[in-house]
Amino acid sequence: MRLAIKFGYDGNAFHGSQRQKNSITVEGKILKFLVENNLLASEHKFQCASRTDAGVSALGNVIAFNTTERTEKILGMLNTMSDDMWFYGFAEVNAKFNPRRARERWYRYFLAVHKCGNEDALKKILGMFTGRHDFANFTRNKGVNTVRELYRIDVSRMEDFYVLDFYGNSFLWGMIRKIVGAAEYVMAGKYSANTIADALAQKTRIDFPMAEPQYLILMDVRYDFEFMVSNTIKRQLQRKIERTFGNLVVKNEIERGLKHRLSCTSSTEGNCNPCKQ
């Protein structure tokens, strides 16, 4: 059986998501746990949907692997592994399923209002990035195809933060943080809007700054199927959530999102309007 699991984590507890030899990472910790508890049928079939930098958190990342164990047993065991990780959704998938081939990814960045001020001006700047562009100036990736399509960027206000929601099929390494960093510089008068236009048109090469990682959340990775959430896992995670969270804005957002997804009245996770926002 090939199993896909939706999960979240506090990025401040890990040195990024991708496996590294001498650092504690999201993938490394999960894979080590699965191997030590004989929960994998094939180690090389373990895959993760999206990679995140150190400090970047997630509410809806996805892993997939082959196993012969019962689904609820696996999720129950995974949720004892760390207070900084939460495994809640599951789906049995095709043997060839690769979680990286998603229909849509949704990231959320919390940008302090005092760094930008005017919301309309911020929306105008971010609007320059929507659509299909070559984001070579907005990534740390080298030697790869840097053309991507941003479906849309929504801007809203939550207390002392602008909430920036990015939607697209795939994102480059550091792409969102560089977009936000460039927008911050324009709002501060360090760059003009023409600088961004020229960078997107590949008329210039510029090393844009990267916004801080701790305010970025991978909110969801979406496919053409839904993830189920069992009542047993709901009860287990609700107890875990109550003892884990503090008052930081990102932790509060993850807590709010997890509580909603666990109390969602839809039969499948992510199928109601609040889940899709």
Position 61, amino acid: N
78 and 9 Cβ atoms separated by less than 8 Å: no
Mean predicted confidence (pLDDT) in 244-250: 60
pLDDT tens-digit readout, 105-162: 999 999 989 888 789 999 999 999 999 999 999 998 888 999 999 999 999 998 889 9
pLDDT tens-digit readout, 24-73: 999 999 999 999 999 998 777 899 999 999 999 998 999 999 999 998 89
Closest CA to 59 of 234, 270, 223: 270
Q: What is the pLDDT of residue 252?
A: 76
End of a domain among 187, 215, 243?
A: 215
Asked whether residue 203 falls in the same domain as residue 241, the answer is no
18 and 51 Cβ atoms separated by less than 8 Å: yes
* Mean pLDDT (the chain, rounded): 89
H or E element, residue 76:
helix 71-78
Asked whether residue 185 falls in the same domain as residue 238, the answer is no
Asked whether residue 67 falls in the same domain as residue 202, the answer is no
Whole-angstrom Cα distance, residue 26 to residue 70?
22
DSSP state letter for 227: B
Asked whether residue 119 falls in the same domain as residue 87, the answer is no
Kindly give the pairing relationship between strand 161-168 and strand 104-112: antiparallel
Residue 168 belongs to domain with CATH number: 3.30.70.660
Closest CA to 75 of 16, 45, 47, 34: 34
Asked whether residue 200 falls in the same domain as residue 265, the answer is no
Whole-angstrom Cα distance, residue 113 to residue 118?
8
pTM: 0.89
Asked whether residue 196 falls in the same domain as residue 231, the answer is no
Q: How many helices (H) and strands (E) does the chain have?
A: 8, 9
Counting beta carbons within 10 angstroms of the beta carbon of residue 114, is it exposed (0 to 12), middle (13 to 18) or buried (19 or more)?
A: exposed
Asked whether residue 182 falls in the same domain as residue 205, the answer is yes
Q: How many CB atoms lie within 10 A of CB 64?
A: 20
End of a domain among 183, 215, 247?
A: 215
**How many distinct structural domains can be found in the chain?**
2
Asked whether residue 111 falls in the same domain as residue 69, the answer is no
244 and 46 Cβ atoms separated by less than 8 Å: no
H or E element, residue 255:
helix 249-263
Q: What is the pLDDT of residue 271?
A: 53
Q: Kindly list the catalytic residues.
A: 53
Range of the domain at 187: 104-215
Biggest CA pair distance of the chain? 57
169 and 221 Cβ atoms separated by less than 8 Å: no
